[in-house]
Amino acid sequence: MTDLLAKFDGLIAEHAGLLTAGVRDPFGIVMEKVLSPTEAIIKGQHTILLGTYNYMGMTFDPDVIAAGETALRDFGAGTTGSRVLNGTYQTHKECEEALKDFYAMDHAMVFSTGYQANLGMVSTLAGKNEFVILDADSHASIYDGCAMGNADIVRFRHNSAEDLEKRLRRLPPEAGKLVVLEGVYSMLGDIAPLKDLCAIAKAHDATVLVDEAHGMGFFGEHGRGVYEAAGVADQVDFVVGTFSKSVGTVGGFCVSNHPKFEILRLVCRPYTFTASLPPAVVACAATSIRKLMHSHNKRQHLWENTRLLHGGLKARGFRLATETPESAIVSVLMPDQETTVRMWSALIEMGVYVNMSRPPATPAGVFLLRCSICAEHRADQIETVLARFADAAAATGLFRAAA
Ligand SMILES: Cc1ncc(COP(=O)(O)O)c(C=O)c1O
């Protein structure tokens, strides 16, 4: 019998090689106890969490937890079915109402994850003889949506309005086109120039979908995302998002004003052919979304924290992926894989958890330590993180390796 997993032998060897160097597995972290949105016990040690995407710190919000507990008691642990058959409960409808209010849109559809929302929307909206035009640095779920659908795929250079223009110009003017953008790109933490990109897309009669996974909650006056902050709401046809970041639970969604939106419930396979989210999860999400509408102080504190971390790392000599803090993701550029792992490992031993990222999640040749900031981080936690980054750099010889 041919070993079907043999194709992964190279990766298995590389991963094992990492661990023989005596470091902890960056992809095998276990949180033994979660104390708050910013602290957990990992390997018995108090650890500051700086890699959770829990931007607004909603995971332990008392109202969110109470809503989940009530729904768990009233509706049970799960729906055991698809939204189209036995899987739509009152809690799902309430969650969709909360989304419609939050986004001021006519329609909202909740998926089981953000991954499935992109998979479903991208594969369903653009069909045979139509085109998906996507940023080269798009999230895996967008690429997988392309792979699942029947449209022709065209990539443009990351955040390049000029390249988007060039690619759109080459397509048949009458063909259906879906331009897929992200508000925040989660690897480098940079934001998209949505004003330029949307204007070009609309000049070529394209439909625009923006994934606001990392922008929801704190960009724009109402926290709708980068598209709101950029003032292009009238040029965006579909917004996709997730509950796994600012909302603080799990799930995905799409909102839109398109008058035919509701038909998607019957034709979008990652919505139709899978079980719906448990009632407790959607009840948590609905309460969280409604609270996020009025979280101006939290938004402000998140930005203060972000500036503190970005400025502090820069002042200590770290190279960052963005010149200024563009989002709540601050990515530290590393010279190579080995140094990245050693830095990551030194930090976790000191009680700081960040995300280690490397290709294929990152663009080719880019190694990162990614920090995601929470509105609930205290200034003294950020100062501790900065001191530990400096200590880890000294212990690993980072600045010598990077020179
Ligand atoms: C840009 C983007 N879109 C979609 C997703 C998928 O979201 P979920 O975790 O809900 O599947 C992610 C998750 O990391 C993401 O970064």
Say if 200 falls within a structural domain.
yes
Task: Please report the pLDDT score of residue 4 as a whole number.
Answer: 97
| pLDDT mean over 224-236 | 98
Task: Please report the pLDDT score of residue 400 as a whole number.
Answer: 77
Structure tokens at 363: 């663009």
> What is the distance between the alpha carbons of residues 254 and 95, in angstroms, rounded to a whole number?
12
Structure tokens at 235: 């040029």
Domain ends where: 261, 292, 323? Answer: 292
The verdict on 181 and 313 lying in the same domain is no
Rg of the chain over CA atoms, in angstroms? 21
> What is the distance between the alpha carbons of residues 23 and 319, in angstroms, rounded to a whole number?
23
> What is the distance between the alpha carbons of residues 137 and 390, in angstroms, rounded to a whole number?
30
Task: Please report the pLDDT score of residue 402 as a whole number.
Answer: 62
**CA neighbor of 254 nearest in space, from 285, 216, 209:** 209
Read off the pLDDT band of 28 (50, 70, 90).
confident
Say if 6 falls within a structural domain.
no
Transcribe 235-250 into DSSP letters: G-SEEEEESSSTT-S-
Q: What are the pLDDT digits (tens) for 328-361?
A: 999 999 999 889 999 999 999 999 999 999 888 8
The verdict on 200 and 85 lying in the same domain is yes
The verdict on 227 and 338 lying in the same domain is no
* Cβ-based burial of 319 (10 A; exposed 0-12, middle 13-18, buried ≥19): middle
| Ligand 1 atom showing the smallest separation from residue 251 Cα | 10
Say if 107 falls within a structural domain.
yes
The verdict on 69 and 193 lying in the same domain is yes
The verdict on 268 and 140 lying in the same domain is yes
CATH code, domain with 175: 3.40.640.10
340 Cβ closer than 6 Å to some ligand 1 atom: no
Write down the pTM of the prediction: 0.96
pLDDT for 154 beyond 70? yes
The verdict on 102 and 32 lying in the same domain is no
Domain ends where: 266, 292, 318? Answer: 292
211 Cβ closer than 6 Å to some ligand 1 atom: yes
Q: What are the pLDDT digits (tens) for 171-206?
A: 999 999 999 999 999 999 999 999 999 999 999 999
Transcribe 58-107 into DSSP letters: GGG-HHHHHHHHHHHHHH-S---SBTTTT---HHHHHHHHHHHHHHT-SE
pLDDT for 284 beyond 80? yes
The percentage of residues in the chain with a pLDDT greater than 90, rounded to a whole number, is 91
The verdict on 123 and 270 lying in the same domain is yes
The verdict on 27 and 120 lying in the same domain is no
pLDDT for 401 beyond 70? no
- Weakest mean pLDDT among 52-56, 219-223, 334-338: 334-338
Residue to mutate, 242, 243, 247, 288, ligand 1, most ligand atoms under 8 Å from C-beta: 242
CA 236 to chain centre: 19
Going from the Cα of 334 to the center of ligand 1, the distance in angstroms, rounded, reads 24
Number of domains in the chain: 2
CATH code, domain with 308: 3.90.1150.10
The answer to whether the CB of 23 falls within 8 A of the CB of 340 is: no
Residue to mutate, 53, 115, 143, 243, ligand 1, most ligand atoms under 8 Å from C-beta: 115
> What is the distance between the alpha carbons of residues 149 and 125, in angstroms, rounded to a whole number?
9
The verdict on 27 and 159 lying in the same domain is no
The verdict on 123 and 271 lying in the same domain is yes
Going from the Cα of 251 to the center of ligand 1, the distance in angstroms, rounded, reads 10
Structure tokens at 47: 């650890």
If phi over 0 gives left and psi between -120 and 50 gives alpha, with beta otherwise, what is residue 57? left
Task: Please report the pLDDT score of residue 3 as a whole number.
Answer: 97
The verdict on 299 and 272 lying in the same domain is no
> What is the distance between the alpha carbons of residues 220 and 237, in angstroms, rounded to a whole number?
17
| pLDDT mean over 29-58 | 97
213 Cβ closer than 6 Å to some ligand 1 atom: yes
Buried b (16+ CB within 10 A) or exposed e, 230-256: bebbebbbbbbbbbbbbbbbbbbbbbb
| pLDDT mean over 74-82 | 97
Read off the pLDDT band of 85 (50, 70, 90).
very high
Structure tokens at 262: 């509701």
| Average pLDDT over all residues of the chain | 96
Q: Which own/partner pairs from 321-324 qualify as long-range (CB within 8 Å, at least 24 positions apart)?
A: 321/187, 321/188, 321/189, 321/190, 321/368, 322/188, 322/189, 322/190
Name, in order, each residue with C-beta under 8 angstroms of 314's C-beta and a sequence gap of 6 or more.
320
Q: List the domain range (segments joined by +) for residue 348.
A: 19-56+295-402
The verdict on 106 and 207 lying in the same domain is yes
Q: What are the pLDDT digits (tens) for 91-129?
A: 999 999 999 999 999 999 999 999 999 999 999 999 999
242 Cβ closer than 6 Å to some ligand 1 atom: yes
Task: Please report the pLDDT score of residue 89 as a whole number.
Answer: 97
**CA neighbor of 71 nearest in space, from 212, 252, 279:** 279
Q: Measured at the alpha carbon of residue 323, what is the angle toward residues 299 and 134, in degrees to the nearest 5? A: 80
Say if 260 falls within a structural domain.
yes
Say if 1 falls within a structural domain.
no
